[in-house]
Amino acid sequence: MKKSIRALLPAFLILLIMNNAVAAEGNNPLLKPFNTLHQTAPFNEIKNEHFLPAFKQAIEEARAEIQGIIDSKSEASFENTIVAMDQSGNRLATIRKIFFNLNSAETNDEIQNIAQEVAPLLSEFGNDISLNPDLFKRVKAVYEKKDQLNLNAEQKTLLENTYLGFVRSGANLGEKEKERYREITSELSKLSLTFSENVLAETNAFEMLIQDEEELSGLPEFAKEAAVHAAKSKDKEGWLFTLQYPSFIPFMKYADNRALREKMYRAFTVKGNQDNKYDNKELVKKLVNLKLEKAQLLGYESHADFQLKRRMAETPERVSEFLEQLHQASRPAAEKEFAEVVEFAKKEGFEGELQRWDWNYYSEKLKNAQYGFNEEEVKPYFKLENVITGVFDLAKTLYGLDLKENNEIQVYHPDVKAYEVFDIDGNFVSVLYLDFFPREGKRSGAWMTDFRGQWLEDGKDNRPHVSIVTNFTKPTGKAPSLLTFDEVTTFLHEFGHGLHGMLSKCQYSGTSGTNVFWDFVELPSQVHENWAYEKEWLDKFAVHYETGEKLPEELIEKIIAAKNFQSGYVSERQLSFGMLDMAYHTIAEPLKEDILTVETRAMQETELFKPVEGSLMSTSFSHIFAGGYAAGYYSYKWAEVLDADAYAAFKEHGIFDKETADSFRENVLEKGGSEHPMLLYKRFRGQEPTVDALLERSGLKN
């Protein structure tokens, strides 16, 4: 049996840690063992004032644990160095996850101020570890004898990840370069937080209150009801529209008032580009240049070169070739689709030049004309509670999971629901939090995260606490939450990420769950979207929320028929984001050009519209400037290749085939990052994927 990190510490250090912890704990719930079901976060007890002292104490505890590894009199070994490091800092990791998840889903000015204070502390602590020559000496000693250690595949991966983590974090730098590295990483952590806060502030700042009902022409009842509900929540009369997706998207699709569509579009696309205190243009330059400087300090030509060394794609050249290959396949279809919308708009009486704020409006009308399918028609069949039932049933059918709501598990907001997840034998698998609705303290979009990962320690399997966060339409006084079809696929997408976290069966926290190569992490999410287009699945739960009538077969056929509607245009749009990302992160000289010039040049190959003055994607591109997708946005399309090929296996054997699902679970979902992702994928599929399955599924093959 392997020893825990505490068993490796000298007695005086254990005493020091215990004394400091007792002194600091007081009434701080973050510094006590969580006396809750499954040791979930005690949200009811946690107050903002607890975070900063908890961070400081947990950092000191983690320092002492690391120092214990360094001071060990024993020769460096896999257990006393690599495993000990993996097990160190558990309390800090827990506090960090709770705090930064709240900063994304339930933030306020106080939390944001704490984040700005905590970010450099965490950066300094991380650098103190990765730049410590004595610790690296022990890690390197183990790494150099790796071939004699008889390690299993996951142990080899953990050892390699640990060693390369040091090297890629500056362990081989000289003292002067190490000091600069510290400065860069600290500044990056603060700037990325500021970027995200600015985008949220700009999103929340815009409101469009309509008091003349004639200006709502074209909007379906669900959109109008939501707008009334939003207005009342702010003690206003009329219909309130915001830049939150459940408000913005229906307005752009259905509102007949072109001037108001333009107003909404311009507000949405100038976020971070209004020359005010929330302006992100200079932040973008600083972030790009600091990442470049860090990469070059470490011996790489560009940030993309640095990042892609630890990705399936491996090189910027390969990413560029991949994006170009898909661009060449998508462009003819996109141009044809664009011309179709222009022609259709003319037949509808539109005069002049089609603008971006016209696209969704006329596209939705064209889709309805071609397929007899629109979102308003299907939404009544996608009541949120029914969709939850359908998704949970899919998890049970494929993976034998049983999800049960438990109100005893504390949550961080009344909208959040908590579930226990059990396997087919009744064994506890995970906690799952679901947080569906938009609010001012939540950033836009949808994501999966966790409050605790999975790992084994002293024979105990510490099971994960996973969270799925979205921004779906809230219930109103007249109607429950009714999802668009796109929101149904979003739920499946994030639930796929959740399965990757929940089903993890790894030995070490550093290799478990979603700790995988960045361009592999989207496979479990995107492959599960495919069931949304399967009649066999939709038949299980999609019923009208008022009549109980099943989703008519005719509507299902329309959904499936419309699956590839404007697939070329959608592909080009996604590729444009990947190209913009690579434009920023393949530079080898500091960026001096203005952001608009960079963005225009990067995206021009995929553009179909003339530019709109003031609009800028970069200043709200949180994926790459406040998330982890820098030099990695291409991974969405990369994973589409994987998921199309993977889902072909389900189509070949049956979409609920247990043997295929078991193989996907055992070879992908349970394995986390324990081995190279291509090895895991080939074990499931028996071959490497090609783009053919994606092009065929998207209707872009020819």
pLDDT digits (tens, 9 = 90+) for 362-373: 999 999 999 988
**Chain centroid to CA 378:** 27
220 and 160: one domain? no
| 94, 450 Cβ separation under 8 angstroms | no
**So what's the pLDDT on residue 496?**
98
197 neighbors 112 (Cβ within 8 angstroms): yes
For residue 545, how far is the Cα from the chain centroid? Answer: 30
**Can you tell me the mean pLDDT for 633-643?**
94
List phi, psi (to 5°) of 700: -110, 10
Q: Are 323 and 631 in contact (CB under 8 A)?
A: no
pLDDT at residue 1 greater than cutoff 90:
no
Helix (H, G, I), strand (E, B) or coil at 417: strand
496 within a domain of the structure (yes/no): no
Residue 2, pLDDT > 80, answer no
pLDDT at residue 4 greater than cutoff 90: no
Looking at 239, 269, 299, the residue that finishes a domain is 269
Phi then psi for residue 311, to 5 deg, are: -135, 160
- For 134, counting Cβ atoms within 10 Å of its Cβ (0-12 exposed, 13-18 middle, 19+ buried), the class is exposed
Q: Check residue 376 and give its pLDDT.
A: 82
pLDDT at residue 25, as a whole number: 57
* The token pair that represents 77 in the structure block: 């070994």
Residues 96 and 210 in one domain: no
Residue 437 domain flag: no
Contact 655, 534 (CB under 8 A): yes
Which position has the token pair 């090609």? 690
* Residues 112, 212 within the same domain: no
The structure tokens listed for 310 are 């630890």
Residue 10 is predicted with a pLDDT of: 45
Residues assigned a catalytic role? 494
Has residue 534 been placed in a domain? no
How many Cα atoms occupy the beta-carbon half-sphere of 563 within 13 Å?
17
- Cα 528 from chain centre: 15
How far is residue 425's CA from residue 400's CA, in Å, rounded to a whole number? 9
Residue 21 has pLDDT above 90, yes or no: no
At residue 5, does pLDDT exceed 80?
no
Looking at residue 374, its pLDDT comes to 80
pLDDT per residue as tens digits for the range 267-323: 999 999 999 999 999 999 999 999 999 999 999 999 999 999 999 999 999 999 999
CATH of the domain at 104: 1.10.1370.40
* 80 and 219 fall within a common domain: no
Greatest Cα-to-Cα distance within the chain, rounded to the nearest angstrom: 83
| 667-682 pLDDT tens trace | 999 999 999 999 999 9
> Strand 417-422 vs strand 239-241: parallel, antiparallel, or unpaired?
unpaired
Rounded CA gap, 291 and 284, in Å? Answer: 11
Distance of alpha carbon 97 from alpha carbon 103, whole angstroms? 10
**CA separation for the pair 85, 159 (Å, rounded):** 11
**Do 30 and 123 reside in the same domain of the chain?**
yes
- Could you tell me if 124 and 47 lie in one domain? yes
Q: Show which of 218, 245, 269 is a domain's final residue.
A: 269
Question: What is the percentage of the chain residues whose pLDDT exceeds 70?
Answer: 96
Q: What domain range includes position 40?
A: 5-130+132-172
- What is the tens place of the pLDDT at every residue in 161-213? 999 999 999 999 999 999 999 999 999 999 999 999 999 999 999 999 999 99
Structure confidence by residue, pLDDT tens digits, 421-477: 999 999 999 999 999 999 999 998 999 999 999 999 998 999 999 999 999 988 988
125 is a domain residue? yes
Q: Is the dihedral of CA 485, 491, 492, 494 positive or negative?
A: positive
Q: Is the pLDDT of residue 324 over 70?
A: yes
The answer to whether residue 691 sits within a structural domain is: no
Q: Mark which of 269, 290, 308 sits at the end of a domain.
A: 269
- What single-letter DSSP state applies at residue 81? I
Lowest-confidence segment of 4-18, 57-71, 531-545, 626-640 by average pLDDT: 4-18
At residue 693, the pLDDT reads: 86
- Indicate whether 7 pLDDT > 90: no
Residue 9's pLDDT is: 46
Buried b (16+ CB within 10 A) or exposed e, 313-333: beebeebbebbeebbebbbeb
pLDDT at residue number 415 = 97
Instruction: Report the pLDDT value the prediction gives residue 23, as an integer from 0 to 100.
Output: 43
Q: What's the domain count of the chain?
A: 2
Percent of the chain scored above 90 by pLDDT?
91
Query: What's the pLDDT score for residue 477?
Result: 81
Pair (17, 124) in one structural domain: yes
pLDDT tier at 6, thresholds 50, 70, 90: very low
Mean pLDDT of 543-560: 94
- Name the β-bridge partners of 405: 419
- The residue whose two tokens read 């820098």 is 630
Query: Is residue 17 over pLDDT 60?
Result: no
The amino acid sitting at 64 is: A
Q: Could you tell me whether strands 402-405 and 428-435 are parallel, antiparallel, or unpaired per DSSP bridges?
A: unpaired
Same domain, 65 and 154: yes
Beta bridge partners of 428: 422
